[in-house]
Structure 1
Amino acid sequence: MRKPLLFTLTFALITLVCQAQKTDYSFKETYPVSNAPKVSLYTSDGDVKVHASSNNQVQIFYTARRHNRTLKISKAELEKEFDFIVTHSQNNLEVKIKEKRRMKNYGNSINIHLEVYVPTQTACRLRSSDGNIMIKGLTNRQSLRTSDGDIKIMQVKGDITARTSDGNITFENVAGSIDLITSDGSIHGNLTELKNSIKARTSDGNIRIALPKQQGLDLDIRGESLSIPLQNFSGKATKKRIHGKMNGGGKLIQMRTSDGRIKLDM
């Protein structure tokens, strides 16, 4: 019993220290929630970073930046330029940030970035029109989308859907099923456990995914160049397409790239 308790206390201490040391932000808000809430966040032009926390609350650090410099500005002042739409209950939190009017002088515009701490079992829906998205340490279903930015997923247990129109998608130590699409970028990462399926597609980039060994797989893979360790395989395999079963078949592996290489590590 001592080891789990020590791990929990250590995790909580690290989270509190990280939050306490964060100083480069404009203002923050805290919302009490259950231990497994649904959280939806939208910012029109900024990054979104979400970390797991041991507390039953959502803490949002809002960082307003102009010319890559953090502005010491209040929410009341920002509300002259932006609408902050917040819907909050014990099991749900939705935060939307939208410009009231598009600034004519783009070089002098303000970007609002979010760094957020949520309970570990939170299910997130994250959206940015023009920014990067990062999520770490959660154990639930996650939905991530940016129109122009990279997506990074770390140490997540649960099914993940991620979309970017122009950016890379990377993931580390994920356990679950993944559905990843980028229109212009690469997809790289590893799964510690595959639940049901992998779907990965890019129009212009490479795909490289590492899986646990010795699994029954249904392979549906297309690319300009393929590097797949086919063992106990039945089906059709060419230089640019593989369709068939490995180790008797089972979980779906569907990967596509219109212009790039695909590598599967096991």
Structure 2
Amino acid sequence: MNQTMRNEMRETRWRTLCVAACLCLGAAVAAAETIKQNFPTSANPSFLLHNHTGKISIEGWDQHAIDIQGEPASNVMEVIIMGGEQKVSVQVHPKRERFTPKEARLDFEIRVPRQAIVRVDSERGDIVVKNLAGSITIEGVSTPVALSQMKGHITVRTVDGPILIQSAEGSINADSISGDLRFVQVNGSELVANTNSGAIRYEGDFGDGGTYVLNNYSSPIDIFASAKASFDLTARAVMGLIESSLSFRPTPLGNPFRRLSPNKFLQGRFNSGESTVRVTSYSGTIRVRGPRSEAQAQ
């Protein structure tokens, strides 16, 4: 056997080993198993989830237990789950430095007691939460967040992910750098919404005699107040404009901005003024509309 034949045999063996290695890697990726865990808990346990990428669905139920189901796209991510009667945590971390968003995806479906204290951190992927009456904190980057049928203390922060909160009561704080904020039938003791370049939209009653604060820098703020809404409004557009189709009754001003033109500053009472609404935008347009304008605005 000459040297040329030996080299060809070595090259053939090397190619065979490479193919086998690739097949093993593919099998490992495909072998990522579904996550299923269930922990008996107290009526109001703490639940913490730290995820990287993937859809997260959390729903409250009447059982004193936390049920976790996860669908990993690969075995690239390490999942550490720790649980007890008072606290359950799920931590997701990459096993290696380089990975694709597709490999990192891990979708979760989780059920917790309605009075649970929930915290979720995630970089990418939709976060959907409903039917909770405890406390919830959500922090994300490019994470669209949708909350519904909520009561209690709610805190949501994103970088550019939009935030939707509907059918909610309690104390609510929503912040985003560039994501849009939308509130539908949100009533509570306090709603504070801040975004830099995102739009803000509120549709509802401004109920429960609460305080509602809507602030942004450069995008529109749209308010659609129902006929039964009752609130005192103070709105200011520094460089932008204010447009209103509602009829407000005067209130004692006592405000240093009272000399500004109506399209820069608006203060008045709608119905009996049970709640307080403060709206500010630097260069965006503030639009205040009633029920007759809602259909046209959809």
Say yes or no: TM over 0.5: yes
> Which structure 1 residue ranges, 5 or more long, are not aligned?
1-24, 66-70, 72-77
Q: Which amino acid aligns with 1:198?
A: L
1:249-264 map, 5 Å: 253-257=277-281, 260-263=284-287
Q: 1:26 aligns with which of 31, 34, 37?
A: 34
Is the CA contact 1:216–1:247 (under 8 Å) kept in the aligned structure 2?
yes
Partner of 1:202 in structure 2?
A: 195
Q: Which amino acid aligns with 1:134?
A: V
Asked if residue 83 in structure 1 is aligned to residue 78 in structure 2, the reply is: yes
Corresponding residue number in structure 2 for 1:139: 133
1:63 aligns with 2:56: no
Which residue of 1 is the match for residue 161 of structure 2?
A: 167
Is the 2:53–2:101 contact (alpha carbons within 8 Å) kept by the matching residues of 1? no
Distance 1:133 1:226, change over 3 A: farther
- Report the counterpart of residue 114 of structure 2 in structure 1: 120
SS in 2 for 1:156: strand
Aligned counterparts of 1:40 and 1:202: Cα–Cα separation in 2: 26
In structure 1, the residue matched to 2:175 is: 181
CA-atom RMSD in angstroms = 3.0
TM-score after normalising by structure 2: 0.65
The equivalent residue for 2:88 is: 93
Q: 1:16-55 to 2 correspondence within 5 Å?
A: 26-55=34-63
Of structures 1 and 2, the larger Rg is shown by: 2
User: Relative to 1, partners in 2 of residues 1:129 and 1:259: Cα closer, same or farther, differing over 3 Å?
Assistant: farther
How do residues 206-225 of structure 1 correspond to structure 2 at under 5 angstroms?
206-209=199-202, 210=204, 211-212=206-207, 213-215=228-230, 217=232, 219=234, 222=237, 224-225=240-241
Question: Could you tell me whether the CA contact under 8 Å between 2:234 and 2:265 is conserved in 1?
Answer: no
Q: Tell me how far 1:215 sits from its aligned partner.
A: 4.2
- Give the drift of 1:219: 4.1
Report sequence identity in percent. 21
How far does residue 139 in structure 1 lie from its aligned partner after superposition? Answer: 0.5
Change (3 A) 1:53 1:200: same
- Partners of 2:191 and 2:65 lie apart in 1 by 32
**1:41, CA displacement in angstroms?**
0.8
Q: Write the distance in 2 (CA, Å) between the matches of 1:245 and 1:54.
A: 42
Residues 1:107 and 1:29: Cα distance change in structure 2 (over 3 Å):
closer
Q: Residue 153 of structure 1 aligns with which residue? A: 147
Paired residues, number = 227
| C-alpha distance 242-64 of structure 1, shift in aligned 2 (>3 A) | farther
Give 1:233 shift: 3.7
Report which structure shows greater RCO (CA 8 Å, sep ≥6): 1
Question: CA offsets, 1:2-25, max 9 Å, x none?
Answer: xxxxxxxxxxxxxxxxxxxxxxx9
Residue 259 to residue 51, structure 1, CA distance change in 2 (3 Å): farther
Against the structure 1 CA distance between its residues 154 and 108, is the aligned structure 2 distance closer, same or farther, given a 3 Å change threshold? closer
Name the SS of the counterpart of 2:44 in structure 1. coil
Q: Distance in 1 between matches of 2:36 and 2:242?
A: 47
